[in-house]
Amino acid sequence: MKAFIIRLLSILFITSFSIVLFWHYFPHSDEALNGPRGNQNPANSNDAAASNPRNVKQNPAKRMKSDFIDKLLASYSISWEKQNQNIQTYRSLLGSSCNAISNAVVTQVNSPVGTNITYDADQKKIMEVTPALFNLFPKESPFEKAPWDSCAVVGNGGILANSSCGKQIDSATYVIRCNLPPLSNGHERDTGRKTHLVTANPSILFQKYRALNERRRSFVEDIQLYGDALLMLPAFSYRQNTAVSLRAFYSLEDFSQSGPRPVFSNPRYLKSLAGFWRRQGIRSFRLSTGIMMASLALELCNNVHLYGFWPFGTHPYNNQPLTNHYFDNRPANNRVHAMPSEFQALLNLHNKGVIHLQLGECTN
Ligand SMILES: *[C@@H]1O[C@H](CO)[C@@H](O)[C@H](O)[C@H]1NC(C)=O
Ligand SMILES: *[C@@H]1O[C@H](CO)[C@@H](O)[C@H](O)[C@H]1NC(C)=O
Partner residues linked to 151 by β-bridges: 174, 304
Q: Could you tell me if the CB of 321 is within 6 A of ligand 2?
A: no
- What pLDDT is stored for residue 120 in this prediction? 95
CA angle 104, 29, 229 (to 5 degrees): 30
The minimum-distance atom of ligand 1 relative to the CA of 126 is: 2
- The reply to whether ligand 2 has any atom less than 6 angstroms from the CB of 187 is no
Which ligand 1 atom sits closest to the C-alpha of 116? 1
Please tell me the distance between residue 274's alpha carbon and the centre of ligand 2 in angstroms: 36
Q: Are 256 and 222 in contact (CB under 8 A)?
A: no
Q: Whose CA is nearest to atom 12 of ligand 2?
A: 161
Pocket test for ligand 1, best of 111, 128, 129, 133 (most atoms within 8 A of CB): 128
Cα of 323 vs centre of ligand 2, distance in Å, is 11
Tens-binned pLDDT, residue by residue, of the chain (364 aa): 555 555 654 554 444 444 433 333 333 333 333 333 333 332 233 333 333 333 334 466 666 667 888 888 888 887 899 999 999 999 999 999 999 999 999 999 999 999 999 999 998 999 999 999 999 999 999 999 999 999 999 999 999 999 999 999 999 999 999 999 999 889 999 999 999 999 999 999 999 999 999 989 999 999 999 999 999 999 999 999 999 999 999 999 998 788 999 999 999 999 999 999 999 999 888 899 999 999 999 999 999 999 999 988 889 888 889 998 999 888 766 566 778 889 999 999 999 999 999 999 998 6
Which residues pair with residue 307 across a beta bridge? Answer: 154
Contacts of 118 (CB under 8 A, 6+ apart): 125, 126, 267, 268, 271
Exactly one of 28, 196, 315, 337 is catalytic; name it. Answer: 337
Q: Distance between CA atoms of 88 and 92, rounded to whole angstroms? A: 6
Looking at residue 243, its amino acid is A
Ligand 1 atom with least separation from CA of 115: 13
**pLDDT at res. 302:** 97
Q: Does the beta carbon of 162 lie inside 6 Å of ligand 2?
A: yes
Distance 327 CA to ligand 2 centre (A): 11
CA distances from 224 to 171, 203, 215, 221, 264 (A): 21, 19, 16, 5, 18
Nearest CA to ligand 2 atom 4: 162
162 Cα: distance to centroid of ligand 2 (angstroms): 6
- For atom 6 of ligand 2, which residue has the closest CA? 162
Nearest residue CA, atom 2 of ligand 1?
A: 116
Cα 348 to Cα 351: distance, rounded to the nearest angstrom: 5
The residues spanned by each domain of the chain are 149-357
Question: Residue 175 pairs with which residues in a beta bridge?
Answer: 152
Centre of ligand 2 from the C-alpha of residue 256, in Å: 37
**Burial 19-46, CB ≥16 within 10 A → b, else e:** beebbeebbbbbbbbbbbbbbeeeebee
Q: Compute, in angstroms, the gap from residue 347 CA to the centroid of ligand 2.
A: 26
User: Which ligand 2 atom minimizes the distance to the CA of 326?
Assistant: 13
Q: Residues lining ligand 1, CB < 6 A? A: 114-116, 126, 128
CATH architecture of the domain with residue range 149-357:
Alpha-Beta Complex (3.90)
pLDDT value of residue 27: 32
As a three-state string, the secondary structure of 200-228 is CCHHHHHHCCHHHCCCCHHHHHHHHHHCC
- Told to judge if 24 belongs to the known catalytic residues of this protein, a careful annotator would answer no
Contact between 122 and 239 under an 8 Å Cβ cutoff? The reply is yes
> E strand or H helix at 63, and its extent?
helix 60-75
Residues forming a β-bridge with 133: none
- Ligand with an atom nearest the CA of residue 162: 2
Ligand nearest 112 Cα, by number?
1
- Tell me, using a 6 A CB cutoff, whether residue 161 lines ligand 2: yes
**CA-closest residue to ligand 1 atom 6:** 116
